[in-house]
Each structure stands twice: as structure tokens, then as C-alpha cells.
Structure 1
Amino acid sequence: MAAHLQGSLFDQTDEIRLGPLTDVRRTVLGDGAWIDTLPGWLAGADALFGDLAEGVPWHAERRRMYERTVEVPRLLSYYGQGEPLPHPVLERARDALSARYADELGEPFVTAGLCYYRDGRDSVAWHGDRIGRGAREDTMVAILSVGAPRDLLLRPAGGGPSVRRALGHGDLIVMGGSCQRTWEHAVPKTARSAGPRISVQFRPRGVN
């Protein structure tokens, strides 16, 4: 199932390992929302992309929209609380994030949702993770990206200028504070040549 990935010139290793979280940089968005970013948190990200692309039980979904059923433009896989993740480094990443944000979040990350963007035609529309507790409580969603970079856009929920971050090749972004309630995020389609990307979204209990 793996699409062709143009490897990163800056990640020429097959050893899959996490770096420290000490260099995370925070950007305050407003309305109580913030994002933390750490480029290249994961070394060997291209090797992990290959393992996940081939080893994860990906599936397509269809959803009802505007009186018709459409195919979701990306492949999906989900690991609930207590389920083993598809690669040991993802377990370590979840544990490291839980430890790093323990004081602010007050609970661990327990689930992992994976999205496979096969090319520039795959996307996710503007949304916040507002199903469950994310609709009424401050929470966090941490995203680890492997594969080719794609733009993640964020904008205020009521509309306004967007913030853009290109994520891939082991980059980390954490959306925290009120971000899921007061801001929206999206991965838009692109007509530019775009290689495949997999994002891993770590969430606390009851946030979707």
C-alpha cells in the first residue's frame, strides 16, 4: 500500500528514535489557545513511514454530506485506550508526551488515530476535535507526522487569518489550551506535487 516517498535529505538514518522534548517552542494563538512545535522530533521518520504504510490495517470511510454519501479523502486507522500501537516508538512517543505535559494536561494521552494522506488530493476539512470532552474543556491533541510535509492550517473558529505549519519527516505539533474549541485546523488539498504523509494524533480519554 505504500506510496512512493521522497526521503528527507536531513534524515538519512534507519534508526528510529525520539529526541528530547526540551526544545519545544510555543506559539500563543489567542482566546486561550496555543501550539507547541518541534521539527524533527523523530529521527528515522522515513523508515517509520514505510513500516506504518505497510503494517497498519488502513481502511477507507464513507460519510453522509449534503444529502449524499462521499468517500473520506484519506485512509484511517484507530487505536483505543489499552490497545497496542502498531510500532514500539509510538508507545514511547505517547509516554514521553504524557510525561512532558503532565502538569498542564493533568492526565495521559491514551488513544492514537492515524491518517494516511496518499497525495495532494487527500485532505481533511476545517474542524476542531469537539466530539466528547473537547467541546467543553481545555485539552490537548499531539500530532507526530512522518512522510512528506503537508501544510496544517489553523484559524479562529469564527473566521480570520490562518496560521500555517508544514509538517512531515518526524515533526511534532501539540495543540493545547482552548485550541479545539476556539480554533479550527485543516490539511487542505493541493495541486502541487505532494508525496505521501502519515499523521499520528495522540489524544486523552474522551476527546475525538
Structure 2
Amino acid sequence: MLAGFSESLFDSPATAPDADPEIAPLTSGMQRRELAHGAWVDLRPGWLTGATPLFERLAAGVPWRAERVRMYESTLAVPRLTAAYPADARLPDPVLDRLREKLNAHYGPGHGEGFVSAGLCLYRDGRDSVAWHGDRIGRGAYRDTLVAIVSLGAPRVLALRPRGGGTALRFTLGSGDLLVMGGSCQRTWDHAVPKARGAGPRMSIQFRPPGVL
């Protein structure tokens, strides 16, 4: 499933399969970028270090799902694997519980009911991607919300552009990097992970508040 996996792609040296990554404080190293229309992104490079064992555990243990979508007269495979964990589901690794707790403690009660659900995406190589989209806000289309993304594995670009078109911003996320989209970002901006020739396997872990899909 993960042809081309190499320890050198991630954070070496190799560690024990059951080792947990080190989680840095969110009170330092966070970089905020204000965007148009009331949107913003927070970037915390290197939030996790030593994340290769976590990547390997999730890659091997998560019940990955290959989705298919209807396009005109054809049914096409979505070029990535996914897994979803709603608010009442047990997360697939205790480290994910710790990450969610730290995000909720940092962002506090000001973002509503907090991060509750988690979604995982596995990009097996550079041919896997996701097209421009905004996460759907199921309850109240005009409210602001947060979506936090933790990247594991090979570096990949996460691009953002204003909804309706415009100049795209490109954030290259490495293993252990955190990016949080906030304010009106899900309503007024779209994001994508473009194809990347020769890229190795990469995983994203998304934490979302209630009602955001």
C-alpha cells in the first residue's frame, strides 16, 4: 500500500514501533497569518517530533476506506484513502487523544464546543490528491469555525485560495507540522492538496468541531 516508504522521508533516526512522538507547547512557535474576508491560519512547524512510529501504526492499523464518486457518466476512485471518527468514536491511537486535548486547551472555549471529531487521510504517493474544497458547516452556514490539520510523513503542499478564484497560497507541511484554519476560512476560502510527482506517503489528521464535515 505504501510503496516507496523510507525512514529517511520522515524524522530519523528510527525509533521503537511503540514510541510516542514528543509534542511541543503550542504557546511558542505558533505563526498566524491573517487572510482576506476574516479568515486566518495558524502554523506551528514541528509540533511533533519523532512521529514515524505513529505514522506506521496508523498506516497499518486504521481501517482505511477507498471512496468512489460519480462524475458525469462514470464512477471514479477518489485518489486517497480516508477514515472517519465521529465525536463518540474511539480514536485509533492514544496520541490522537492527547493532540485533541492540547488543541482544545490552547484554543479554549472561544471556539464553541471544541474539537470533537477526527478524520484521517492517507496520500499513498504523489499521485494521490484532493481538489479545491471547503469543509462543510452543517449547522449554520454563516458561523466561523476551526479545522486543525496535523501532517505526518513526506512533505506535501496544502494550498489555499479565495473562494471563487484568486491567487493561491502554498504551505509545505512536513512531518509533525500543525496548520489550523480559522475565522471564516471554511466559508470564504478553499483548500487543496495538489499532486506532487515523486512524493512519498503522507497522512493528515484533521480535528473538527461539531457539525463540521
CA RMSD after TM alignment: 1.6
Is 1:17–2:17 an aligned residue pair?
A: no
Query: 1:145·1:170 contact (CA, 8 Å) conserved in 2?
Result: yes
Q: How far 1:9 sits from its partner (Å)?
A: 6.9
**How many Å separate the matches in 2 of 1:35 and 1:65?**
32
Query: 1:135·1:180 contact (CA, 8 Å) conserved in 2?
Result: no
Q: How far 1:102 sits from its partner (Å)?
A: 1.4
Structure 2 counterparts to residues 1-208 of structure 1, below 5 A: 1-3=1-3, 4-8=5-9, 11-12=12-13, 14=15, 15=19, 16-22=21-27, 23-133=29-139, 135-190=141-196, 192-208=197-213
Q: How far 1:66 sits from its partner (Å)?
A: 2.5
Secondary structure of the equivalent of 1:100? Answer: helix
Q: Which runs of 4+ in 1 moved over 6 A?
A: none
Structure 1 unaligned segments of length 5 or more: list them: none
With normalisation by structure 2, the TM-score equals: 0.91
Distance 1:37 1:73, change over 3 A: same
**How many Å separate the matches in 1 of 2:174 and 2:62?**
18
Q: How far 1:130 sits from its partner (Å)?
A: 2.1
**How many Å separate the matches in 2 of 1:90 and 1:130?**
22
Q: Which moved more, 1:31-40 or 1:123-132?
A: 123-132
Distance 1:161 1:134, change over 3 A: farther
Q: 1:65-107: CA deviations, max 9, x gaps?
A: 2332110100010111121111111100001101111143122
Q: Which moved more, 1:31-40 or 1:130-139?
A: 130-139
**How many Å separate the matches in 2 of 1:135 and 1:45?**
35
Q: How far 1:193 sits from its partner (Å)?
A: 1.1
Percent same amino acid among aligned pairs? 60
Paired residues in the alignment total: 207
**How many Å separate the matches in 2 of 1:145 and 1:49?**
10
Distance 1:200 1:20, change over 3 A: same
Corresponding letter in the other structure for 1:7: S
Corresponding letter in the other structure for 2:135: D
Structure 2 unaligned segments of length 5 or more: list them: none
Distance 1:103 1:30, change over 3 A: farther
With normalisation by structure 1, the TM-score equals: 0.94
